[in-house]
Structures are given as structure tokens and as C-alpha cells.
Amino acid sequence: MDKKKLVVLTGAGISAESGISTFRDANGLWEGHDVMEVASIQGWQANPELVLEFYNQRRRQLHEVEPNLGHTILAELEDFFEVHIITQNVDNLHEQAGNSNIIHLHGELFKVRPSNNDQDIIEWKTDLRLGDTNEKGVQLRPHIVWFGEMVPLIEMAAQIASQADYFVVVGTSMAVYPAAGLIDYVQPDRPKFLIDPNIPSGLGHIPNLNCIEEIGSKGLQELKQILLS
């Protein structure tokens, strides 16, 4: 018998339990930097060294963290469902935990690419510096979707969301677009679950939405019991 399709949209909240800071503080600053300084094409053009160091710090941190219970539960659910992870996170914790179908909407920290094209992607786990180029001499940049850039995998993600038997949102506030709009592609009669310790208001327009008011790992424990019962 074919497994039912479980599609899970994850955000920074699920990685926060592994000790990865969500970087954004109350003033919208990332590690003391305006987000546009370190995560936009304008910031890259103005100060590439600052941008490279910002992501070098993120990459170094990624070598020191491990998946948490939330990641592990999502991997375990592959025994029962065809699980598709659509993540806004640039870490590799879903891969480490054992999930096999993962779309990284916003890119990946352990990959880089030439600054003049987005197709030639290279695995890269150490610091990236000015002067690191591809074989054609083009400066490499983080393989990250910056503010103002297209999200190339969003159409694939929308197609997968439209095929979901169950759709789950965990670790993201439903406020970051275009990812937050993926729930609108899910068939109206399919069960949808939002796991968040602070359920936002104004979600009444979403049919068949079930809210679990918990942090990611606890909420996913609860969800696993619901789905398997």
C-alpha cells in the first residue's frame, strides 16, 4: 500500500532547540548587523568581507550542533509516511537526523556558488574568503537566498504542498513569504497542523487547521501520536 504524503514546512524555531540562534533580535538585527548588510545582494556588493564572515560564523557553528528530538521524530515518521520536508533553514540538521526528501527554500550553509550564476553549486564546509573562486576565476558566494532574490524552489514546494495528505508547519511564524503561502496550496479537505508555542491570530480562513501550542519537539511528539492513532 502506498504511504500517505506528509509534508512539513519547518523554520528557525525547530533548529533553535539545537542551539542554533535564530539571529534576529527584537530590533530586527542579526548579530548586531542590519539584515540588509549581511543578507542582501546590496550588502554583498557593498561589503563582501562582512557578508562572508557573517556566514563563516554560521558555518562554524553548524559543525558543533546536532539534531534535536524534533528533527529525529520527523525522520522516524518516514517509517509510516512519505515525508517531504520543506525548510526555510539553511542548516543540515534534517539531513543529519535522517530525512531523505528535503527542499531548502533559502539555500544551504554547506554549499557555495559563483557570484555570477546560481546553477554551479559546490559543497563547502570551511570558511569562505575573498579570493576563493571557481575554475573560471569567479568569486564564490554563499549558496543562500538573500532578501530581494528569487526563491527558485518555491514552485516545486507549492506542487508538493498541493499533493499533501497531511500538512504540518513547525518552527515558523507563518509570516515569512513566500513560504507562509504554501499552506494555501494544500487541498481544503486535508488536515493541517500548526505547532507553535505562540499561535498567531487571524488563521480562521485556513480550513481543517489544528493548532498544537508547544515548542517544536514537544509538539511533534504530540503530532506523531495523533497521526499514528
Q: Are 58 and 90 in contact (CB under 8 A)?
A: yes
Among 1, 168, 162, CA closest to 80: 1
Tell me how many degrees the CA angle 142-99-208 measures, rounded to the nearest 5. Answer: 100
Q: Give the span between the Cα atoms of 6 and 24, in whole angstroms.
A: 29
Q: Which residues are catalytic?
A: 106
Residue found by looking up cell 558555518 in the block: 59
* Residues in CB range of 201: below 8 A, 6 or more apart: none
Q: What element of type H or E holds 108?
A: strand 107-114
